[in-house]
Structure 1
Amino acid sequence: MPVSVLLCEGEDNGPDVRLLHAILRGTGVQVEPSGGKDAFAGLIRGRRRQTPGVCGLIDGDFPRDPGAWTEATDPGPRRWTLRQGEKRLMLGWMWRRKEVENYLLDPDVLARALRWDPAAKSHYVAQLERVFDALGHVTAARIALTCCAPRRNRLETQVRLDATKQELAQELQDKADAYTEGARLDKDKLLQAFERHVPDCLSGGRFRQHALEVFAGKNILARIQHTPGFHPILKRKPELEERILNALEHDAEPHSWLPEWAALRSAVEAWMPAPETEATSAGA
């Protein structure tokens, strides 16, 4: 059977649930929140014992192989799989972008939801570039933490958003020194990964060129709120989310707003349960 239930991160009436309700309207798929990401895979496998058509959608997050993030040329969601021996079980999908906030800050989405004219949209895009510049070192630090994290132990990747490069390097060292959860975090490798990915995240870098996909949407929004020149509604997150989601919910074809949303809808509609044998970098 095709997908009947799509579980997602977040809570009832949260932005993830409401966005997916709009994108998947008319498909017959029921969208349900799962809460956080912890035990999400186990929840899907347990639900499938009773309802085979259960799948999940999780945030993109920073991948262990950052280069793989920007290699895809199609707008479709990344597949979320779980290794089972020599096979991989398809659990669902990952957002193409870091998290749901990345979509809510997209210039095309904001222009439609807030009814901006071309001049207002261009002004926003120019202002957004300043925010991306300010988040280059922060994003490199968070990517480094993800690359170097032990595979079986959770590692918090949040860092100070207003820290300098030198302060971030010290913060990474402190995190490595404090990491005592049964697995070692190699300080030298962590700092090397940070230095390696800094150029990727600054102007002209491969990740900087895809900042609205790769940089954390929550970090972008936080910097917007402390950067002058942005439209006042962008400083008020609850009101901003409500305006966007309300506009989507009242649109006849909300999935057409972005190619990624149309591709996700198509992927969900086309899915049928089957053993997964191909390797994928999106495995859980």
Structure 2
Amino acid sequence: MRTPRTARRGSAARWIVRGGTTPRAPRRGSAALMVAATGLATAACGLGGEADAGSILHKRSLVVGVKEDQPSLGLKRPDGTYEGFDVDVAKYVVAKLGVPESRITFRTTPSSERETALASGKVDLIFATYSITAQRKTKVSFGGPYYVPHQDTLIRASDDSIKSVRDLKGKRLCAVKGSNSWKRVIEERKIAARTVDAANYGDCLTKLLGDQVDAISTDDVILAGFAAGRPLKIINAPFTDEKYGIGLKKGDLAACEAVNRAVTQMYQEGKAEAFLKKWFGTSGLRITTSVPQFEGCT
């Protein structure tokens, strides 16, 4: 490279380099046009450019938050790996984002920690029976839903006193910290059940089997996993629709749109149906194999 040669006084400096010459500095009259153009470019970045630059779509590896205590959905094996419907969906969607399974790190993310885990960057996405709600959408961007189960109630097989959600009045209902399921019984349905706190749904299962609670009320796919091979039964009286969303850091709209495309492909290719039959085919649950209606990225 040659040493830059300064132009005559009163004119802009000119830089001469091997292979060509850079344009002259703009005259004062055109400076205003440049400022205006820069302002337009900055505004355009604010509509998506800046968000895209910080999107998880630029990452070569991703951390995915899942549950560790929900059979058939998100369960941690003794060897430290994870299995379940949510895990299979996560692997499929993340692969469509260009990240192979070998570069996915799964991390246990309890219900009470999901929003803070995303905001802090502890996880990049969450596939953990994460129901989309208006309140949560103020803190999190949601892709999907990737499945829409229904809330039902799990009781001991010997109990014939609970046949519908109304029969939970006066009963001991398990209440998981950070979950909305028990609130739908107490606050939305106005049923005066007696809540018993639990750290997670695995804890609820232990309490139900140990006669410390009378019922667990949450999504039917969660209950189906718990009931398998145990002296428990689902009362088959659903009373809500739940929308399982893919949790993303608030504002990552590019990633949200990308995961929605991936979920659509998952259903179109028959992968969603295969995953559902793999994990719930023998449970007796009525599964849905059509693409759910997306919430829209906000």
TM over 0.5: no
Q: Which has the higher strand share?
A: 2
- Computing the radius of gyration from Cα coordinates, the structure with the larger value is 2
TM-score (norm 2): 0.26
TM-score, with structure 1 as normaliser: 0.27
Which protein, 1 or 2, shows the higher relative CO under an 8 Å CA cutoff with sep ≥ 6? Answer: 1
Higher helix share: 1
